[in-house]
Amino acid sequence: MIISRVVDIVRAKGGTITREPGPVKGGDSNIAVIEDPDGYKFELLERAPCPEPLCKVMLRVGDLDRSIKFYEKAVGLELLRKQDNPGSKCTVAIMGYGPEEKSTVLELTSNYGVTTYDKGDAYAQITIGTDDVYKTAEAIKLAGGKITHAGPVPGYKTKITSCVDPDGWKT
């Protein structure tokens, strides 16, 4: 669905549009930004047809190089591209397990001069599949992450490794 239709639906239901659909400066995709009733903003990204409807997850990070190394070492993401955006006063790193146009990616955004972010009362968590939660826990520790749980989840037939990355995001 093209984002202009999504924006029309959001507007019809009383939602707030903080950026009307349009091209990304210096890019070839279209974006719009909407805001939910709690004030959380969502970027809608229109791109070429893709098997994954979720295009990307974006995290703001204080030290981009540290975060790139963490996600490479901890969970095996590959740096697909890094782009400096002087007009937006930020640098982004796109990381993924496959080509950006065919899979969901993680965008790490570092704003010029900002090293910490107030996450307020929001809750954000990234989930990544693994064959061995214990080996993943060791990789996360070696990459500088803090393990908060590794092993069976009480009441569920699954095992997880939970950690906090160097910027405090839960994975």
Q: All domains of the chain, ordered by start, with CATH?
A: 1-46 (3.10.180.10), 47-164 (3.10.180.10)
Distances in whole angstroms, Cα of residue 109 to Cα of each of 42, 67, 141, 146, 163: 15, 10, 23, 21, 20
Confidence check: pLDDT of 134 > 60: yes
Q: Check: pTM over 0.85? Answer yes or no.
A: no
Instruction: Please report how the helices 133-142 and 64-75 are oriented relative to each other, as an axis angle in degrees rounded to 10.
Output: 150
Give Cβ neighbours of residue 125 (< 8 Å, ≥ 6 apart): 169, 170, 171
Q: Residue 50 is encoded by which pair of tokens?
A: 């893709």
What residues are annotated to the active site?
Answer: 43
Q: What is the pLDDT of residue 120?
A: 66
pLDDT in tens, 38-81: 677 788 877 666 666 677 888 889 999 999 999 999 999 999 99
